[in-house]
Amino acid sequence: MFQSLIDQARSIIQRLYASAELSVDKVPEATKVRPSELEAWDAAAHAIIVLLFGANSAAWSRWRALAERLQSGDRHAAGVRG
């Protein structure tokens, strides 16, 4: 269950890195990551966490805290390398 989400996240991250190396007009369509794709991935991850651990569980709280730090651009505090 989690492996599929992890694999999808890795694919998204790899495509984002590849896109960052090119100018916007040179990114192949197959490489582009659209906001709707990120939103769908986040919604699926959220649904699985809620299903397994509950809507207000510690796991969900950690997930949201990490997501909020990443969205604010605080990669160091979120523990993300790069």
DSSP state of 62: H
**Other C-beta atoms lying within 10 Å of the C-beta of residue 49:** 19
Q: Determine what percent of the chain is predicted with pLDDT higher than 90.
A: 10
Domain boundaries, the chain: 2-78
pLDDT digits (tens, 9 = 90+) for 6-45: 899 899 989 988 888 887 778 888 888 898 998 898 889 8
For the cut 60, the answer to whether the pLDDT of residue 74 exceeds it is: no
Full-model pTM = 0.67
Q: Print burial letters for 52-67: b (CB count within 10 Å at least 16), e (below 16).
A: eeeeeeeebeebeeee
pLDDT band at residue 76, thresholds of 50, 70 and 90?
A: low
Q: Terminus-to-terminus CA distance in the chain, angstroms?
A: 27
pLDDT (mean) for 43-58: 87
R_g of the chain computed on alpha carbons: 14
